[in-house]
Chain A
Amino acid sequence: MRGKIGIIRALLYYRYGFLFVNFFKHLGIEYLLSPKTNRELIDLGVKNSSSEVCLPLKVACGHLLYLKDKVDYLFVPKIIYPYGRLYTCPKMMGLPTIALYLCGKEKVISPTIKGNFFLPLFFLGLKFRKNPLKIVSAYLKARRKEEKKELVFDNKNLKIAIISHFYNIYDEEIGSFLIETFKKEGFSVYLKDDLDEKILKRKEGFAKNIRWAFERELYNAFKYYLDKVDGICFFFSFACGPDSLIGEMMAKEAKEKGIPFLTIIFDEHSGKEGIITRIEAFCEMIKRKKR
Chain B
Amino acid sequence: MATVYIGIDVGSISTKGVVLDNNFNVITYEYLRTRGRPVEAVLNLIRIFKERIGNNVKFGGVGTTGSGRRLASVIVGADIVKNEIIAHAVAASHFYPNCQTVIEIGGQDSKIIILRNGIPVDFAMNTVCAAGTGSFLDHQAQRLGIPIEEFGKLALKAKTKVNIAGRCTVFAESDMIHKAQLGFPIESIIAGLCDAIVRNYLNVVAKGKEIKPLILFQGGVAANVGVREAFKRELKEEIIVPEYFLVMGAIGAAILAKEETNGYESKFYGFEISNYNFETKAIECDGCANRCEIIHTYRNEELIDIYGDRCGKWSGG
Residues of A within 8 A of B (CB): 35, 38-41, 173, 251, 260, 265, 267, 269-270, 273-274, 277-278, 280-282, 284-285, 288-289
CB distance from B226 to the nearest CB of A (A): 28
B119→A289 contact, CB < 8 A? yes
> Contacts A270-B128, A277-B84 given: A285-B289 contact, CB under 8 Å?
no
CB-defined contacts of A269 to chain B, threshold 8 Å: 128
Return the CB mask of B62-102 against A: 1 if under 8 Å, else 0.
Answer: 00000100000000000000111110000000000000000
Q: How large is the interface on B (under 10, 10 to 19, 20 to 34, 35 or more residues)?
A: 10 to 19
> Contacts A265-B127, A269-B128, A270-B127 given: A39-B83 contact, CB under 8 Å?
no
CB-defined contacts of A260 to chain B, threshold 8 Å: 121-122
CB-defined contacts of A41 to chain B, threshold 8 Å: 289
- Complex Cα distance, B128 from A267, in Å, reads 9
B86→A281 contact, CB < 8 A? yes
| Contact partner, A278, options B119, B121, B125, Cβ 8 Å | B125
The residue on B at minimum CB distance from A248 is: B208
Interface centre among A274, A277, A281, A289 (most CB of B within 10 A): A281
CB distance from B261 to the nearest CB of A (A): 18
A281→B208 contact, CB < 8 A? no
CB-defined contacts of B208 to chain A, threshold 8 Å: 251
CB distance from B97 to the nearest CB of A (A): 14
A39→B291 contact, CB < 8 A? yes
- Complex Cα distance, B208 from A281, in Å, reads 19
Q: Nearest 10 A-B pairs (CB), nearest first? A: A281-B85, A38-B289, A40-B289, A285-B120, A284-B86, A280-B83, A277-B83, A281-B83, A39-B290, A288-B119
> Contacts A38-B288, A251-B208 given: A285-B127 contact, CB under 8 Å?
no
The residue on A at minimum CB distance from B292 is: A39
* Interface residue? B123 (CB, 8 A): yes
- Complex Cα distance, B127 from A35, in Å, reads 30
Question: Can you give 23 A-B contacts (C-beta < 8 A)?
Answer: A35-B289, A38-B289, A39-B291, A40-B291, A251-B208, A265-B127, A267-B128, A269-B128, A270-B127, A270-B128, A273-B67, A277-B67, A277-B83, A277-B84, A277-B85, A278-B125, A280-B83, A280-B86, A281-B120, A284-B86, A285-B85, A285-B120, A285-B122
B120→A288 contact, CB < 8 A? yes
- Complex Cα distance, B124 from A278, in Å, reads 8
- Complex Cα distance, B291 from A282, in Å, reads 29
CB-defined contacts of B290 to chain A, threshold 8 Å: 38-39, 173
Return the CB mask of B109-122 against A: 1 if under 8 Å, else 0.
Answer: 00000000001111
CB-defined contacts of A35 to chain B, threshold 8 Å: 289
CB distance from B283 to the nearest CB of A (A): 16
Return the CB mask of B124-140 against A: 1 if under 8 Å, else 0.
Answer: 01011000000000000
B128→A285 contact, CB < 8 A? no
Further 7 A-B residue pairs, CB within 8 A, beyond A277-B85, A281-B120: A38-B289, A270-B127, A280-B82, A280-B83, A285-B85, A285-B119, A285-B122
- Complex Cα distance, B119 from A289, in Å, reads 6
CB-defined contacts of B85 to chain A, threshold 8 Å: 277-278, 281, 284-285
A39→B123 contact, CB < 8 A? no
- Complex Cα distance, B125 from A285, in Å, reads 14
> Contacts A251-B208, A281-B86, A285-B120 given: A39-B289 contact, CB under 8 Å?
yes
- Complex Cα distance, B119 from A219, in Å, reads 29
The residue on B at minimum CB distance from A264 is: B127
